């Protein structure tokens, strides 16, 4: 922790977790954390006040930002009642009261110019808060000046793809199974997508061929689920350093690790070669339309100019509210609650399949809030999707995410976060019934 403060990864004023919370997260005794806090406070690194928690001592060396210069499946068009779609959080659990409190506080403290046209990179308050949060939670190395706030991660990827194309990049390596929306963002900018095979160690970065850049999901490959292995991470970084290329890291659900400590961001290994993309859509709600890019310094200005040309800047009120939400610790608390809920749902999903249809193999469950259920080879993927729809359950086949040929066996990608808590068990039961139903005769 001392080194994190010294290096600037923990900026002055950053609020630290309570000793009980940090002890639980790290799996150590609470007294150990308390002793560490006390020692660092005596050394002057931390400041503790009754009622306001423990914070990093603000110093002149603290990182500061200059003031701103300026598809749902349906049956016959009908929305299905039970949505088990990957990438959708439980929006019914959105912390409305805490968000409203943060909005009131942020708006009351905001200067009048915050309601005007602003810096296309985003509000300084949010970029400072994000830099501190990402350093603490994901190990990202960045100053607020390297962050561009976007209207969701899809826009961020579109802006980066546009800038890369303008700089002569013509092709980008993408994982053979990826989200179609992201691939459209890449190809719409004029880039050719070259597929990277995926195995238990994540994307085979050595299969990039002549690609000029790469788009990866290292912490939790979407949708298959493996983590990019240490060897593959090192290989990707060496490739970028050797070729001068850039890697786009889509860290869409890196905070939701269930069975072991979170895997840090790839960006920390080579911040000059990795563009880090994050979003509030999975942690809070897609309706907020807030995402962020942490960019290597040479392309920050170009991406900011592309953002300005696209829509001037992201909404200021949402940015100010999220900044206060992070600073107050409410964001961390919401992540912890959501992680516990999603882990419980995941366990219920695995237990249900093991009990009722053991022939189905469930993978990709160490993180996030979706799983891949490999069906028996005699089942047809799309028929299983149709049987689920007949039971009012929306789910997608793995083939929906194939970039090119669907080379794997029949499987379903199941998002277990989106149904409200009271409807989850029913949705799961209906899905199991659909999969267990005998396939239609030839």
> 153 and 9: one domain?
no
Can you give the length of the chain in residues?
442
> 318 and 363: one domain?
no
For residue 338, give the nearest of 256, 248, 260, 228 by alpha carbon.
256
> 115 and 147: one domain?
yes
Domain-ending residue, one of 328, 352, 369: 328
CATH number assigned to the domain comprising residue 158: 3.40.640.10
> 320 and 341: one domain?
no
> 228 and 248: one domain?
yes
CATH number assigned to the domain comprising residue 344: 3.90.1150.10
With beta carbons less than 8 A apart as the criterion, state whether 98 and 327 touch.
Answer: no
Domain that holds residue 219: 105-328
Q: Would residue 322 count as lying in a domain?
A: yes
Per-residue pLDDT tens digits for 71-125: 444 444 468 999 999 999 999 999 999 999 999 999 999 999 999 999 999 999 9
Q: Would residue 86 count as lying in a domain?
A: no
The residues, ordered by sequence, that sit 6+ positions from 318 with a Cβ below 8 Å of its Cβ are 288, 289, 290
What are the per-10-residue average pLDDT scores of the chain (442 residues)?
A: 82 87 88 89 83 78 39 55 94 96 96 94 97 95 96 96 97 96 95 95 88 96 95 95 96 88 90 97 95 98 98 96 97 96 96 94 93 94 96 97 93 95 95 84 59
> 49 and 195: one domain?
no
> 12 and 42: one domain?
yes
Per-residue pLDDT tens digits for 239-286: 999 999 999 999 999 899 987 777 899 999 999 999 999 999 999 999
> 137 and 22: one domain?
no
User: Side-chain half-sphere of 144: how many Cα atoms within 13 Å?
Assistant: 22
With beta carbons less than 8 A apart as the criterion, state whether 392 and 73 touch.
Answer: no
For residue 341, give the nearest of 130, 95, 20 by alpha carbon.
95
Q: Would residue 410 count as lying in a domain?
A: yes
Q: Would residue 441 count as lying in a domain?
A: no
Compute the Cα dihedral for 244, 403, 378, 348 and give only its sign.
Answer: positive
Predicted model pTM = 0.83
Q: Would residue 389 count as lying in a domain?
A: yes
Q: Would residue 91 count as lying in a domain?
A: no
124-138 vs 316-327: helix crossing angle, rounded to 10: 40
Domain count, the chain: 3
Q: Would residue 378 count as lying in a domain?
A: yes
> 112 and 229: one domain?
yes
Residue 438, token pair as written in the block: 């005998």
Q: Would residue 291 count as lying in a domain?
A: yes
> 316 and 348: one domain?
no
């Amino acid at each position: 922790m001392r080194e994190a403060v010294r290096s600037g990864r923990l900026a002055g004023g950053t609020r630290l977790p309570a000793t009980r919370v940090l002890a639980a997260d790290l799996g150590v005794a609470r007294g150990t954390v308390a002793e560490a806090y006390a020692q660092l406070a005596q050394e002057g690194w931390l400041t503790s006040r009754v009622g306001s928690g423990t914070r990093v001592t603000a110093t002149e060396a603290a990182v500061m930002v200059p003031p701103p210069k300026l598809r749902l499946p349906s049956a016959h068009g009908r929305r299905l009642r039970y949505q088990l779609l990957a990438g959708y959080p439980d929006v019914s659990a959105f912390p409305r009261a805490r968000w409203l409190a943060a909005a009131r506080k942020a708006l009351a403290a905001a200067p009048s110019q915050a309601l005007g046209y602003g810096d296309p990179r985003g509000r300084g308050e949010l970029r400072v808060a994000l830099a501190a949060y990402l350093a603490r939670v994901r190990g990202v190395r960045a100053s607020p000046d390297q962050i561009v706030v976007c209207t969701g991660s899809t826009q961020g990827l579109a802006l980066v793809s546009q800038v890369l194309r303008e700089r002569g990049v013509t092709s980008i390596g993408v994982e053979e199974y990826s989200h179609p929306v992201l691939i459209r963002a890449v190809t719409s900018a004029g880039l050719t997508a070259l597929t990277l095979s995926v195995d238990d160690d994540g994307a085979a970065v050595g299969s990039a061929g002549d690609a000029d850049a790469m788009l990866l999901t290292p912490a939790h490959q979407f949708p298959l689920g493996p983590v990019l292995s240490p060897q593959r991470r090192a290989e990707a970084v060496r490739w970028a350093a050797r070729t001068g290329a850039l890697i786009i890291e889509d860290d869409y659900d890196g905070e939701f690790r269930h069975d072991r400590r979170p895997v840090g961001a790839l960006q920390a290994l080579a911040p000059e070669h990795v563009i880090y993309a994050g979003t509030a859509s999975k942690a809070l709600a897609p309706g907020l339309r807030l995402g962020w890019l942490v960019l290597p310094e040479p392309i920050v200005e170009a991406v900011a100019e592309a953002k300005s040309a696209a829509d001037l800047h992201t909404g200021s009120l949402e940015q100010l509210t999220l900044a206060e939400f992070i600073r107050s610790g409410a964001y961390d608390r919401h992540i912890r609650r959501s992680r516990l809920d999603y882990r419980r749902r995941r366990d219920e999903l695995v237990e249900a399949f093991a009990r009722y249809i053991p022939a189905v193999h469930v993978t990709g469950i160490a993180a996030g809030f979706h799983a891949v259920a490999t069906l028996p080879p005699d089942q047809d993927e799309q028929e299983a999707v149709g049987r689920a729809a007949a039971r009012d359950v929306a789910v997608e086949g793995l083939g929906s995410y194939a970039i090119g040929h669907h080379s794997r066996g029949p499987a379903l990608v199941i998002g277990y976060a989106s149904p409200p808590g009271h409807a989850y068990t029913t949705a799961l039961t209906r899905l199991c019934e659909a999969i267990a139903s005998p396939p239609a005769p030839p």
